[in-house]
Chain A
Amino acid sequence: MGGDPCGMSGRFTEWDERQSGWGGAIYRGRTLPGPGDLVLMSNDYLALGSHPRLVEAQVRALRQQGSGLMMSGAFTGDADTHRLVEDQLAEFLRAPATVLCQSGWAANVGLIQAVASAGSPVYVDATAHASLWSGIQAAQALARPFPHNDMEYLERLIGQYGPGLIAFDVLYSVTGDLCPLAELVALAERTGCQLVADESHTLGVLGPQGAGLAVALGLADRVAFRTASLAKTFSGRAGLVACSRRMAGYLPFHSLGAIFSSTLLPHDLAGLGAVLELIRGADDRRERLAHNAGRLREGLTALGYNVAPSESQIIPLQPGTEERICRFQRMLDAQGVFGAPFIPPSVGRNRCVQRLSVHSELTGEELTRVLDACAAVRDEAGLHDWKSTRRLAAA
């Protein structure tokens, strides 16, 4: 086995000690949801992941083509299904073109790595997704972080360091709040910057036919790059970049992830094509999603939970420390309500969050069960003593 040139033994010990401090299991070892339990961990906000048309399209593709050709996306041809799905997605997003990637991570890292010059400034929201930060590192560009959604600070920073990319999430995946997109567009145009807007959690959810916030606000042609994971509402394993045609002809041959990682498989593409049609026609689901999310946010607020700044289907319950989130999660799990824990490195050490992700097909009775569970555990979980609760009281 050799020695330990990377110093892993110390890091393993540190990890063991950290997990011991939780007082239980947060991830592995956690009790699994049983039949009838409510699982609010999934980003499948329109609950399309098991839709018969999606499943059938994928099964048909697998039967007809198996896994297809195991090759880099750089080798896909003009007549490939890949191009067809990219064109369909471009039309959906009111974009000149899209580039499909293996994941949302690959989309963000690959885009920024290919576009930002070494040493150039990339302005990035302090709470933006880790993939945007990794893209900046991969490009050897200079990350210039600005406090979350702080436009005034961002403008001063751009004044100091000059034009560059501005990278941010359109809807933040832990806190559930939106970026000020119109202000970002105006600022970028005023300062000669270009926007990288990650619409992972808004595609399918907001805008006409679910085309996202940029389309909803009529800003699609003023955002240079829209990126997304298609592992949320699209229920697939893929990502995309929406951009100019010129850029779409450049990225697959300059983004290292696109070149040096195998392309999407036929059943991935078949699934994306099928789910796109479902999403376009899912206004009823979008309405139910907005209703369900609003009801849960309001109900939790009435129970004393601080769910700010959420304004969406992503609802953060904020116990604070890892030990507290572990205890809280165990109590909610026992009530049959399974959320998603966010601990470092996803959030700061004292800002741990149990995220509840709402979907459109939750019934009124199920939402009542979630609220009843949160009511049942709040005293034992010490809700009154959470920092987030005290912040709410002080506001």
Chain B
Amino acid sequence: MRWPLDRNLADFIESPVMQIIGTAGVSLRPEIGRGVGAWCDDLRTIHLVVSAWQWPQTIANLRDNAQVAVTFARPTDYVSYQIKGTATVREAEPAEIERSSLYTVAIVSSLMKLGLMPEMIAPWLSKREAMLVSIDPSSVFVQTPGAKAGTRVWNSAP
């Protein structure tokens, strides 16, 4: 079996892209959260920093049933991928919070180049009570607007 991610997709995930997280606990009430930094050094597990202070229900849902969908979207050209899988959650280490800070600087610069003011972006990017969400992907979908939107490009099932 080849790895779920190739280096290109990993580079994309680690670049300044917006990161949004979907979860649904056993109640099936969907929830939305944002990530503040992601990486996948081994091309197997995606690590994502998420504020438990800003997105408490997202963290609760992940602990509840581990189901996760995360979409990475590049603001400059709308290129987007959605990755689904299961996740574990733990408190982020200082080095991971530091890595998240580098992302924050990069995404703020990227959005400012598109004309957004930093005070407008600030409400979206919290590291308070930072958690590390580690995702084991089961499928990858193209989500860029257009004819291929929704196409699965990888699946863990044989």
Q: Do A and B come from one complex?
A: no
Residues of A within 8 A of B (CB): none
